Amino acid sequence: MTKCTICHHREHAAIDLAIARGVSVLALSRRYKVSTDSIYRHKKAHLPPTLRAKLIAGPDLDIDLDKLRETESQSLLANLVALRHRLFASLDTAEECGDGTMISRLAAQLHNNLEITGKLLGDLGIGSTATINNVLVMPAYVEMRVELVKALEPFPEARQAVAAVLRGIEHKAADAIKADKREFAS
């Protein structure tokens, strides 16, 4: 019994996929330097219609979509909170430097971050953590934070201390989200 040239070819998988996709035997013969007869024999003997259909459909991915959604949602929320923490720190710096343009840009990014986080929390319904973190994503909190830091402008040491405390609270919230391994409601 002779060996199938195609089955033992180093590009066997690529040839099978090309055959399944309907690439011409002549083109495959030229590309992979094998005879057209070898390809025809291989196709007839080793590529039944069910295998060709499976090749076209692609790999069977056994993904637990609920688990993936949970993991990605936790990661997304944690990254949003961590990013917001950095945006607030940058906002503090921009305010200290009196850079109105940067304050405006950061406020827009904070608004966007808060909006996305709010939508995500609304979709997840994660219980008590959502209640605690909702305070940090509310526009009223952002406004209060900005105004508080502005009000302390004549008192640089107090301003820095308050900004540090606020950053610490936001950082704790980010850590709590990262550490939260509870299942989300679907």
The domain that holds 160 is classified in CATH as: 1.20.120
**Statement to judge: residues 75 and 153 lie in one domain:** yes
**Statement to judge: residues 51 and 75 lie in one domain:** no
Provide the pLDDT for residue 177.
66
**Statement to judge: residues 76 and 114 lie in one domain:** yes
**Statement to judge: residues 48 and 110 lie in one domain:** no
Who has greater pLDDT, 185 or 98? Answer: 98
Identify whether the C-beta of residue 173 lies closer than 8 Å to the C-beta of residue 83.
Answer: no
**Statement to judge: residues 98 and 164 lie in one domain:** yes
**Statement to judge: residues 121 and 52 lie in one domain:** no
How far the first Cα of the chain sits from its last, in Å, is 58
| Average confidence (pLDDT) over 39-50 | 93
161 in any annotated domain: yes
Give phi and psi for 160, each to the nearest 5. -65, -40
121 in any annotated domain: yes
**Statement to judge: residues 114 and 52 lie in one domain:** no
**Statement to judge: residues 122 and 169 lie in one domain:** yes
Provide the pLDDT for residue 144.
84
7 in any annotated domain: no
pTM for the model = 0.38
Q: How many residues does the chain have?
A: 186
Which are the contacts of 134, defined by CB distance < 8 A and separation ≥ 6? Answer: 118, 121
- The tokens for 52 are 């060709």
3 in any annotated domain: no
d(CA 181, CA 39): 53
Which has the minimum average pLDDT: 7-11, 77-81, 132-136?
A: 132-136
- Local confidence band at 11 (pLDDT 50, 70, 90 cut-offs): very high
Provide the pLDDT for residue 60.
65
139 in any annotated domain: yes
What is the DSSP secondary-structure string of 53-103? Answer: HHHHH-------HHHHHHHHHHHHHHHHHHHHHHHHHHHHHHHHHT-HHHH
pLDDT digits (tens, 9 = 90+) for 156-181: 898 888 888 888 887 887 777 667 65
2 in any annotated domain: no
Identify whether the C-beta of residue 174 lies closer than 8 Å to the C-beta of residue 119.
Answer: no
Total domain count for the chain?
2
Provide the pLDDT for residue 163.
84
**Statement to judge: residues 72 and 89 lie in one domain:** yes
At residue 27, does pLDDT exceed 50? yes
**Statement to judge: residues 53 and 92 lie in one domain:** no
113 in any annotated domain: yes
Domain that holds residue 155: 65-179
Provide the pLDDT for residue 19.
93
* Average model confidence (pLDDT) across the chain: 81
26 in any annotated domain: yes
**Statement to judge: residues 89 and 146 lie in one domain:** yes
Give phi and psi for 20, each to the nearest 5. -60, -35
Give phi and psi for 67, each to the nearest 5. -65, -40
pLDDT digits (tens, 9 = 90+) for 94-152: 888 888 889 889 889 988 888 888 787 775 444 444 444 456 667 777 778 888 888 88
d(CA 20, CA 51): 8
**Statement to judge: residues 86 and 162 lie in one domain:** yes
